[in-house]
Chains A and B, each alone.
Chain A
Amino acid sequence: MDIQFILYKIILIVAILLLSLMVAMYSTLAERKVAGFFQDRLGPNRAGIFGLLQPVADGLKLFMKEEFMPANADKVLYIMGPSLTMLVALLSSAVIPWGGTLIIAGREFALQVADVNIGVLYVFAVVSIGVYGIMIGGWASNNKYALMGSVRAASQMISYELAMSMSIVTIVMTTGSLSLNEIVTQQQGMHWNVFTQPIGFVVFLICAFAETNRAPFDLPECDSELIGGYHTEYSSMKLGFYLFSEYINMFISSAMIASLYFGGYDFPFMHDMGLSHNMVTLMGTAALFLKITFFGFLFMWIRWTLPRFRYDQLMRFGWKGLMPWAIANMVLTGFFYMLFKK
């Protein structure tokens, strides 16, 4: 393999990981600004213009806080929990196609780290490991609230993962591939999956909320019952890892929703405007980030609009509400496909 290609890939990997961190940092500001907007107040506006330096100040504050460990905690697992959560949140960005290809000096470079033919399964595998991070952290804290929070989180995440994977199966049925790049390519020209898979999209969207532990599914950390849930005993950067990984997961989920159902980097009249190849790619990436921003806003919008579920409601909704819909959607898609596409 040539050095040019390897160098490009390494730059791409580092850039994407740093970008995820930056997006996570500024999502915290966006979250508070959106909250301010919904509650008719300003939100943070003291640090820098429009509060743009607020995430930097918050990050510094997290670094400067005392590294604290409860006396009875399991020392190794206590550190491993947040580190694992953060690591898997960063890993899931590897298979998402962030754009088409760039042609630099006559060579084609893909804006995707690894185009593997099991991309969707990879994301699922990595997301499932995220449960361990929360479970380990909550258990190792040696705190009743943390344990309750982590058990709730694990139970909730595995319950909603089922309906989520079943809604993905229907996407795989219509595209015939597990590669995310292939799924995005097939949607080009506004053949977005959301038009053919509306039920699957709704199921996937709801499950994405549950998987990221966002309101109205934020039971694992509901502060009125469990103090802080699984991160009650955490401080400093270890707490920061849990908070950051939530925002990174939100970012990755939005990117997944955009790629699976909204054509990824596809935008209207993509190949009909007579633009150069690189220009189309850059505009495609911009379109993808526009979609991600929209879904990020949707995440926040719903957080400040809907009240939190009760635990029995959450379980009833996941198993008795979403599961039958997901299974029915799968069967229906199979029959529709046989009837109309053959």
Chain B
Amino acid sequence: MSSLSLFLTVFLTGIVLVVAGLGIAILLAPKSFNLQKGEPYECGIITHGTSWMQFKAGYYLYAILYLMFDVETIFLFPWATIVRDLGYQGLYSILFFIVILGLGLAYAWKKNVLKWD
């Protein structure tokens, strides 16, 4: 059995469990209709405006930073697996890479992107 078919089996078993959970709940659950029940759950007053509202731009900056760093971390994994064979040369070249990574973090830090207010 190749690992792909193993993962597929796990995936399908997971789907069966999830669908079974949802299905049994639909079969057993009582049903009733009430217009007020469909309203968004808030403090008891009718919601003001749309619920799909704008949110703070700070989240967006963190998302961009994450994207940068995550792509860079992925480059570290192949290096890390063979670091034993590469020796000092490999260490210094990746050090250069990590310094650039650190500079990116320092720049964001300096620009107060990491400050939440």
Say whether A203 faces chain B, with CB atoms less than 8 Å apart.
no
In the complex, which of the residues B14, B24, B40, B63 contacts A87, with contact meaning CB atoms closer than 8 Å?
A: B14
**A interface, over-half SS:** helix
Say whether A104 faces chain B, with CB atoms less than 8 Å apart.
no
Say whether A94 faces chain B, with CB atoms less than 8 Å apart.
yes
Stretch at the interface among A2-10, A193-201, A255-263: A2-10
Known contacts A70-B38, A143-B41, A148-B55; A315 and B83 CB within 8 A of each other: no
Known contacts A176-B81, A334-B94; A87 and B41 CB within 8 A of each other: no
Known contacts A10-B9, A162-B69, A236-B29; A334 and B95 CB within 8 A of each other: yes
Say whether B11 faces chain A, with CB atoms less than 8 Å apart.
yes
- Which chain B positions have C-beta within 8 A of A170? 80
Say whether A298 faces chain B, with CB atoms less than 8 Å apart.
no
A142 touches B55 (CB 8 A): no
Per the 8 Å Cβ criterion, residues 46-60 of B in contact with A are 47, 51-53, 55, 59
Chain B window 1-25, contacts with chain A (Cβ cutoff 8 Å), 1 for yes, 0 for no: 1010011011101110110011011
Per the 8 Å Cβ criterion, residues 84-142 of A in contact with B are 86-87, 90-91, 93-94, 113-116, 121, 139, 141-142
A147 touches B98 (CB 8 A): no
CA of A17 to CA of B9, assembled, Å:
11
- Can you add 9 more A-B contacts, CB < 8 Å, to A70-B39, A151-B55, A159-B66? A13-B6, A66-B29, A68-B37, A83-B22, A90-B14, A143-B42, A144-B53, A162-B70, A165-B70
B55 touches A147 (CB 8 A): yes
* Closest A residue to B28 using CB positions: A63
Known contacts A65-B29, A72-B51, A114-B3; A240 and B40 CB within 8 A of each other: no
In the complex, which of the residues A10, A17, A145 contacts B17, with contact meaning CB atoms closer than 8 Å?
A: A17
CA of A87 to CA of B17, assembled, Å:
8
Q: Which residues of B contact A (CB under 8 A)?
A: 1, 3, 6-7, 9-11, 13-15, 17-18, 21-22, 24-26, 28-32, 37-42, 47, 51-53, 55, 59, 62-63, 65-66, 69-70, 73, 76-77, 80-84, 87-88, 91, 94-95, 98, 101-102, 105, 108-109, 114-117
- Which chain B positions have C-beta within 8 A of A62? 25
- Chain B proximity of A174: nearest CB distance (Å): 9
- Chain B proximity of A55: nearest CB distance (Å): 15
- Chain B proximity of A318: nearest CB distance (Å): 9
Known contacts A66-B32, A79-B22, A315-B62; A320 and B14 CB within 8 A of each other: no
In the complex, which of the residues B3, B42, B82, B91 contacts A145, with contact meaning CB atoms closer than 8 Å?
A: B42
Question: Which of A87, A311, A342 has the most chain B CB atoms closer than 10 A to its own CB?
Answer: A87
Known contacts A155-B63, A161-B70, A327-B101; A147 and B53 CB within 8 A of each other: yes
- Chain B proximity of A182: nearest CB distance (Å): 10
CA of A139 to CA of B40, assembled, Å:
12
B1 touches A315 (CB 8 A): no
A94 touches B6 (CB 8 A): yes
Say whether A180 faces chain B, with CB atoms less than 8 Å apart.
no
- Chain B proximity of A132: nearest CB distance (Å): 13
A330 touches B63 (CB 8 A): no
In the complex, which of the residues A87, A121, A315 contacts B77, with contact meaning CB atoms closer than 8 Å?
A: A121
Number of interface residues of A (CB under 8 A): 82
- Which chain B positions have C-beta within 8 A of A94? 6-7, 10
CA of A114 to CA of B83, assembled, Å:
25
- Which chain B positions have C-beta within 8 A of A72? 38, 40, 51
B47 touches A144 (CB 8 A): yes
A237 touches B24 (CB 8 A): yes
Known contacts A162-B66, A173-B80; A316 and B116 CB within 8 A of each other: yes
In the complex, which of the residues A67, A91, A158 contacts B26, with contact meaning CB atoms closer than 8 Å?
A: A67
Say whether A172 faces chain B, with CB atoms less than 8 Å apart.
yes
A233 touches B41 (CB 8 A): yes
CA of A12 to CA of B61, assembled, Å:
43
Say whether A28 faces chain B, with CB atoms less than 8 Å apart.
no
- Chain B proximity of A177: nearest CB distance (Å): 7
User: Can you list 25 residue pairs at the A/B interface with Cβ under 8 Å?
Assistant: A17-B17, A63-B25, A65-B29, A83-B18, A87-B18, A91-B11, A94-B6, A94-B7, A114-B3, A142-B40, A142-B51, A143-B40, A144-B40, A144-B42, A158-B70, A159-B62, A162-B69, A170-B80, A172-B80, A173-B83, A232-B41, A315-B114, A320-B109, A320-B114, A337-B83
